[in-house]
Structure 1
Amino acid sequence: MDVPLLIARRYFFSKKKRNIISIISNISMIGVAVGTMALIIVLSVFNGLEDLVRTLYGKSDPDLVVTAVQGKSFTVSEPLLEGVRRIRGVGLLTEVIEDNALLQYHDRQMVVKMKGVSENYYTQSRIDSSIVEGDHRLRRNGEPYALLGAGVQHELSIALNNRFAPLHLLYPRNTGKKTLSMNPESAFTEKSITAGGVFLIEQHIDDSYVFVPLEFAEELLHYGPRRTALEVNVGDEHDIQKVKELIKKYLGPKFKVLDSDEQHVSLLKAIKVEKMFVFITFAFILLIASLNIFFSLSMLVIDKRKDVAILLAMGATPRHIRRIFLLEGAIVALVGAVTGLFLGITICWVQQTFHVVSMGMATSVVDSYPVKMQFSDIALTGLAIVVITIAVSIRPALNAARLDVRENL
């Protein structure tokens, strides 16, 4: 029988404890429960936001993207493209030309990200499921069409399928001179294209992107055989990371191969950093709430001085006394932590299942706050509670073990 645990349990459940000690213990448990619950909920929301970012960008992002290590473009050849296509696991290869361009429509204009893609782009991308108006096809009956972000359409009030009012895309000519000519006709290359469809994916993409056929972008930008990226779709039965390594090995050190997370590393890293700081903040809140455990144990040591003296006189060692009060603090923290974990997990499950709390924005792509529970968060929260409980319980336990037997009998 573990005597220190037995005595700690009797102290915890004892009805003879002085009222103020009981009140402080209850406050400690409530504080730990609330802090634990809040920590689980907030961390789960950050997990949900991280998954939401991956889902949103996944509608337009390929499995892998090949870019140049230096410069914004690189020269491609048919042997190079064919070599990549032959790599085991490469299901589809799309050529991409992407650069800033000036978009004019009637008397309005704005700078957009023009992305020229080869005809097989929509075979590998799920962007066609995000079309809110018009048609996703970039070529119809041999004619080129542009696919616009909803923000771009709204900014310029663009009408679809109007050949009498096409879009005008302008790009600076590469004349080799350091200064730009003041004559627009000689300073810019201009091409016209009809707006064919509107997509709604994510605000950053919606407000800046225009998709056009690869040949259109190649002529406007005078890129010739150069490309800014190659987008790779990996077969379902193949591992993306293995295919990534094979492509890197084939292309050599002059190229970068980025998976989905690496394509948006800054955004995902920002979410992870925010999550870390939120965890640290809530851990401090838990520490403050757990200070009540320190006060309740300190008062319990004073109240049980005679009991401690009797135990020492009967042969108990200072180690046994320390364990009694450490276990007492652990029981208080455990009850609060288990209650908080139960409430936090229950609230997250309710949100996941019934979507109770909405985002509160009419333009949001999701109706409710995304939530995703992870075992690592629960384990990390439990570890934080253990460390905090030991930190606040050790001092009262040491004081109890130092009590003088003769003075307290």
Structure 2
Amino acid sequence: MNVPFLIAWRYFRSKKKRNIISIISNISMIGVAVGTMALIIVLSVFNGLEDLVRSLYGKSDPDLKITALQGKSFAVDSFLLQRLGTVPGVGLVTEVIEDNALLRYHERQMVVKMKGVSENYYGQSDIDSAIVDGDHRLRRNGEDFALIGAGVQHELSIALENRFSPLQLLYPRNTPGKRTLSINPENAFNQEPILAGGVFAIEQHVDDSYIFVPLEFAQRLLKYGNRRTSLEVNVTGRSIDEVQTELKQLLGEQFQVLNSDEQHVSLLKAIKVEKMFVFITFAFILLIASLNIFFSLSMLVIDKKKDVAILMAMGATPNTIRRIFLMEGAIVAQVGAVTGLITGVTICWLQQRFELVSMGMATSVVNAYPVKMQLSDVVWVGVAIVLITITVSIRPALNAPQIDLRENL
């Protein structure tokens, strides 16, 4: 029988303590409950945002992306493509040339991300399902066409398949050994015309900056020849991690093979770091709310001096007395934590099920704040509450056995 727990539970359940100690204990439980609820909700929102980022970029991201470890581009030949194709699980390998370029239309211009892709690109990308106007094909009847983001079209007021005013893409000319610029600035750029064939809408960041063109067009504009900025790999029949490991071994240290998360490592890391700082901030708020436990236990120790004296006279050790008050603090904290946890999980479930809180923006890609509950968050919140409870309860518990028996019996 756990005597310290039974005594602590009786103190907690005592109905006659409609006094300041009871009030402070109730305030402590409410503070812990509200803090725990807020922590669970905020962490779940960050989890939802992380999944939302993955889903948005997943529409245009390859399963694996091969890039050079050093430099912007690397040479690609049929032998390299053949070696990649022999790896089990590699379905398609798309050649990509991607770089910034100046896009000019009529009197307007802007810098865009130009992505040149080989003909098999649609075999591994769902971008064709994101077309909102025009045709998704980059090459029709021997003629090149560009896919432009909805934001790019809006910025430049581009009309599709306008043969009288095609898009003009310009890229700085790289002339080895030549350091001086021409008097005519246009001579410093390679320039190629292309018709806009379709408009896509994936995600605002992509829509506002990207255009897709045929690989051959990008080769001509950038004068890349057999060089590519990346190779995009579609994985079928095996796990992405297994194929990634084999490709790293095959290609060696000169290349890096990135999965979807690693392609956006900065953005996802920023979300994780922000989530960590939010957790720390709310943990401190929870600690401040739990200080009421310290005050209520300190007052309870004073109020129960006679009980402590009687227990010690009956043979209770100082360690037993300390455990009683530690248990009392733990009960107060855990009741508040469990209440807050149940409330927080319920609110998150209601948000997932009924989308109670909207994003409040007409241009948002989702109607309501995304939330996702994870067991690890509950575990970390539990660990934080245990540490906080020990921190605020240990001092009153240590003071409890330090009484004069003769004065209190």
Q: How far did 1:187 drift?
A: 1.6
> Does the residue aligned with 1:159 lie in a helix, a strand or coil?
coil
What residue identity is the alignment partner of 1:300? L
Separation in 1 of the partners of 2:36 and 2:297? 21
Q: Which residue of 2 is the match for residue 114 of structure 1?
A: 114
| Aligned positions of 1:167-178 closer than 5 A | 167-176=167-176, 177-178=178-179
Q: Which residue of 2 is the match for residue 376 of structure 1?
A: 376
Q: Which residue of 1 is the match for residue 228 of structure 2?
A: 227
Number of residues paired by the alignment? 408
Residue by residue, what CA displacement relative to the aligned partner does 1:204-225 show, whole Å, maximum 9, x if unpaired?
2111111000011011111000
Q: Which residue of 2 is the match for residue 245 of structure 1?
A: 245
The answer as to 2:216 corresponding to 1:215 is yes
What residue identity is the alignment partner of 2:109? Q
Q: Which residue of 2 is the match for residue 269 of structure 1?
A: 269
Residue by residue, what CA displacement relative to the aligned partner does 1:187-218 show, whole Å, maximum 9, x if unpaired?
21111111111122222211111100001101
Separation in 1 of the partners of 2:387 and 2:183? 68
Separation in 2 of the partners of 1:178 and 1:407? 96
| Aligned positions of 1:141-160 closer than 5 A | 141-160=141-160
Separation in 2 of the partners of 1:77 and 1:290? 65
> Does the residue aligned with 2:322 lie in a helix, a strand or coil?
helix
- Structure-2 change in CA distance of 1:179 and 1:349 (3 Å): farther
Separation in 2 of the partners of 1:262 and 1:391? 39
Q: Which residue of 2 is the match for residue 80 of structure 1?
A: 80
Q: Which residue of 1 is the match for residue 299 of structure 2?
A: 299
> Does the residue aligned with 1:357 lie in a helix, a strand or coil?
coil
The answer as to 2:364 corresponding to 1:364 is yes
Residue by residue, what CA displacement relative to the aligned partner does 1:320-347 show, whole Å, maximum 9, x if unpaired?
1011100101110111000000010001
| Aligned positions of 1:6-405 closer than 5 A | 6-176=6-176, 177-235=178-236, 237-405=237-405
What residue identity is the alignment partner of 2:360? G
Q: What fraction of aligned residue pairs are identical, expressed as a percent?
A: 77
Q: Which stretch has the larger CA shift, 368-377 or 181-190?
A: 181-190
Q: Which stretch has the larger CA shift, 144-153 or 173-182?
A: 173-182
Q: Which stretch has the larger CA shift, 202-211 or 40-49?
A: 202-211
Separation in 2 of the partners of 1:388 and 1:185? 67
Separation in 2 of the partners of 1:20 and 1:168? 78
What residue identity is the alignment partner of 1:407? E
Q: How far did 1:284 drift?
A: 0.1
Q: How far did 1:57 drift?
A: 0.5
Separation in 2 of the partners of 1:393 and 1:95? 63
Q: How far did 1:134 drift?
A: 1.9
Separation in 1 of the partners of 2:312 and 2:5? 16
Q: How far did 1:182 drift?
A: 3.2
Q: How far did 1:382 drift?
A: 0.5
Q: Which stretch has the larger CA shift, 15-24 or 265-274?
A: 15-24
Residue by residue, what CA displacement relative to the aligned partner does 1:332-370 show, whole Å, maximum 9, x if unpaired?
011100000001000111111111111111111111111
Q: Which stretch has the larger CA shift, 133-142 or 143-152?
A: 133-142
> Does the residue aligned with 2:400 lie in a helix, a strand or coil?
helix
Q: How far did 1:267 drift?
A: 0.4
Q: How far did 1:405 drift?
A: 1.2
Separation in 1 of the partners of 2:386 and 2:148? 53
Q: How far did 1:186 drift?
A: 2.4
> Does the residue aligned with 2:311 lie in a helix, a strand or coil?
helix
Q: TM-score, normalization: structure 1?
A: 0.98
Separation in 1 of the partners of 2:180 and 2:347? 61
Q: How far did 1:18 drift?
A: 4.7
What residue identity is the alignment partner of 1:47? N
RMSD: 1.0
Structure 2: give runs of 5+ residues left out of the alignment: none
What residue identity is the alignment partner of 1:195? A
Separation in 1 of the partners of 2:179 and 2:349? 61
Separation in 2 of the partners of 1:252 and 1:408? 78
> Does the residue aligned with 1:125 lie in a helix, a strand or coil?
coil
- Structure-2 change in CA distance of 1:355 and 1:182 (3 Å): farther
> Does the residue aligned with 1:210 lie in a helix, a strand or coil?
strand
Q: Which stretch has the larger CA shift, 141-150 or 62-71?
A: 141-150
What residue identity is the alignment partner of 2:259? D
> Does the residue aligned with 1:401 lie in a helix, a strand or coil?
coil
> Does the residue aligned with 1:356 lie in a helix, a strand or coil?
coil
Q: How far did 1:73 drift?
A: 0.3
Q: How far did 1:37 drift?
A: 0.3
> Does the residue aligned with 1:22 lie in a helix, a strand or coil?
helix
The answer as to 2:4 corresponding to 1:4 is yes
Q: How far did 1:185 drift?
A: 4.2
Separation in 2 of the partners of 1:157 and 1:4? 76
Q: TM-score, normalization: structure 2?
A: 0.98
Q: How far did 1:246 drift?
A: 1.0
Q: How far did 1:141 drift?
A: 2.2
Separation in 1 of the partners of 2:304 and 2:248? 69
